[in-house]
């Protein structure tokens, strides 16, 4: 029997406001998290991530739908019986307890013996690099250290599922990257199914086996990071994950292939074959999605893969590691990230551009 398989079936949560308005915070969410998987709920503020997590934890009850843990409906199960560990943005440590007692808290609730608690807390402090700090109180620790205490407390109880709600949002940028690497390493090492809530797309991309993109209470797409990035289900996902250029194009014909569909499109008078979303129809308008780093530019058309198109540089921004350009290209505005920062194309200059067709995507209108 797998441990830590979590299934959401048509889970909906509505709130009634004091003004008697109904807010559907989560709208028919369907999701399956396999044992040991790291799944991220990603979306803008207010899209229903925390509400989804709180229903999994048992702090909120679905208005309708079911949540199954290892095949069992957990509706009637109180939070402390769900065997889930939770890590919050605010750390939520007990301020009057030291590191040892904070980590030991859940183990004491499980009625473990003193010797057993000592052994596990020792193991945990080593695991999260807090050895030697056992006697300190939260106020005597940095934000990053406090969050590691919270992480140790969550995993000490050997949870079936780990839940994280924006755990890194209160930390500065450098620490955030360090701690997220640590969370991923620990999660892999321990093999605990995890649901991680964030609005930060780079966090989601770097941590997840699976990303669930949410918008206004609904799940827009579920996929691996590279699927979400290269094959977004719609404009919202394409725009929310990284940056995207959208160009309206006409579909000339559609081909089905073993790796999905391709569409032959008319782009500014040139015929091109580009991977396409399922259900595309010839003679319809569609949206071509091109990532800024998939566009090549040069003063000379001969430097570029054919076909090349003309454009004018509207603005140039030098970042050292790369250069960003805004181009005016026919009726489209294009954002370009050029990794070649050894040369800078000047504002106002006429350039050519083309793009990696296999990294572009055609979306249904
Ligand atoms: N207890 C509540 N009562 C009323 N509305 C709520 C409550 N909790 C959340 N909401 C609303 O539900 C929506 C989703 O909230 P939330 O799940 O916190 O979003 P996120 O975590 O993605 O920012 C928001 O519109 C929020 O205002
Ligand atoms: Mg939230």
Residue 59 CB–ligand 1 contact under 6 Å: no
DSSP 8-state symbol, 199: S
pLDDT of the residue at 1: 55
Residue nearest to atom 25 of ligand 1 (CA): 46
Predicted pLDDT at 257: 83
Q: Residue 63, Cβ neighbours under 10 Å: how many? A: 15
Provide the residue-wise pLDDT of the chain in tens; the chain has 365 residues: 568 999 999 999 999 999 999 999 999 999 999 999 999 999 999 999 999 999 999 999 999 999 999 999 999 899 989 999 999 988 889 999 999 999 999 999 889 999 999 999 999 999 999 999 999 999 999 999 999 999 999 999 999 999 999 999 988 888 899 899 999 999 999 999 999 999 999 999 999 999 999 999 999 999 999 999 999 999 999 999 999 999 999 999 999 988 889 999 999 999 999 999 999 999 999 999 999 999 999 999 999 999 999 999 999 999 999 999 999 998 889 999 999 888 999 999 999 999 999 999 999 98
Query: What fold is seen in the domain 6-236?
Result: Rossmann fold (3.40.50)
- Range list of β-strands (E), the chain: 6-16, 22-33, 38-42, 64-69, 72-73, 84-88, 161-165, 193-198, 210-215, 218-223, 245-257, 260-267, 270-276, 285-290, 295-298, 309-318, 323-329, 332-338, 350-355, 361-364
The reply to whether ligand 1 has any atom less than 6 angstroms from the CB of 208 is: no
Q: What is the DSSP letter of 166?
A: S
Which amino acid residue places its CA nearest to atom 16 of ligand 1? 48
What residue segments make up the domains of the chain, in order of their start? Answer: 6-236, 243-364
Alpha-carbon distance 54 to 41, whole Å?
Answer: 12
45 CB less than 6 Å from ligand 1? yes
Q: Answer for the pair 253, 238: CB distance below 8 angstroms, yes or no.
A: no
Rounded to whole angstroms, how far apart are CA atoms 80 and 59? Answer: 10
What does the pLDDT read at residue 2?
A: 62
Q: What is the pTM of this model?
A: 0.93
Nearest-5° Cα angle at 114, 108 to 116: 90
Q: Is the shortest distance between the CB of 144 and ligand 1 below 6 Å? A: no
For residues 97 and 284, what is the distance between their CA atoms, to the nearest angstrom? 65
Alpha-carbon distance of 228 to 251, in angstroms, equals 23
Instruction: Give me ligand 2 centre to Cα 100, in Å.
Output: 29
15 lines ligand 1 (CB under 6 A): yes
Q: Whose CA is nearest to atom 8 of ligand 1?
A: 51
Alpha-helical regions (H) of 129-214: 143-156, 173-190, 201-207
Instruction: Indicate the fold that domain 243-364 takes in CATH.
Output: OB fold (Dihydrolipoamide Acetyltransferase, E2P) (2.40.50)
Q: Which of the listed residues 12, 25, 169 should we mutate to test ligand 1's pocket, taking the one with most ligand atoms within 8 A of CB?
A: 25
State whether the beta carbon of 51 lies less than 6 angstroms from ligand 1: yes
Ligand nearest to the CA of 167: 2
């Amino acid at each position: 029997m797998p441990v830590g398989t979590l299934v959401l079936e048509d889970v909906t949560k509505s709130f009634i406001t004091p003004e008697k308005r109904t807010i559907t915070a989560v709208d028919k969410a369907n999701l399956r998290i396999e044992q040991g998987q790291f799944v991220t709920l990603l979306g803008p503020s207010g899209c229903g991530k925390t509400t989804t997590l709180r229903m999994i934890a048992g702090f909120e009850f679905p208005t309708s739908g079911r949540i199954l843990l290892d095949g069992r409906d957990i509706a009637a199960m109180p939070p402390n019986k769900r065997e889930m560990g939770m890590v919050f943005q605010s750390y939520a440590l007990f301020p009057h307890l030291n590191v040892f007692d904070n980590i030991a808290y859940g183990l004491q609730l499980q009625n473990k013996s003193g010797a057993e608690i000592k052994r596990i807390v020792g193991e945990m402090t080593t695991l999260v690099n807090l050895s030697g700090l056992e006697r300190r109180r939260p106020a005597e620790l940095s934000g990053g250290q406090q969050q590691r205490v919270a992480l140790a407390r969550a995993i000490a109880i050997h949870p079936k599922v780990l839940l994280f709600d924006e755990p890194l949002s209160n930390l500065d940028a450098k620490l955030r990257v360090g701690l997220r690497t640590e969370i991923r390493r620990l999660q892999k090492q321990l093999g605990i199914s995890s649901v991680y809530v964030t609005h930060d797309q780079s966090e989601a991309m770097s941590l997840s086996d699976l990303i669930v993109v949410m918008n206004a209470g609904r799940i827009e797409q579920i996929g691996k990071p590279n699927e979400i990035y290269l094959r977004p289900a719609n404009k919202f996902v394409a725009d929310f994950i990284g940056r995207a250029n959208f160009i309206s194009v006409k579909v000339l014909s559609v081909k089905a292939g073993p790796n999905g569909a391709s569409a032959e499109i008319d782009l500014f008078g040139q015929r091109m074959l580009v991977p396409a979303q399922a259900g595309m129809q010839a003679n319809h308008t569609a949206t071509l999605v091109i990532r800024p780093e998939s566009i090549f530019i040069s003063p000379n058309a001969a430097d570029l893969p054919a076909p090349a198109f003309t454009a004018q540089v509207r603005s140039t921004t030098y970042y050292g590691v790369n250069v960003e350009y805004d181009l005016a290209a026919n009726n489209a505005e294009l954002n370009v990230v050029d990794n070649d920062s050894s040369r800078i194309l000047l504002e106002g200059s006429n350039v050519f551009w083309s793009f990696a067709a296999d990294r572009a995507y055609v979306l249904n209108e």
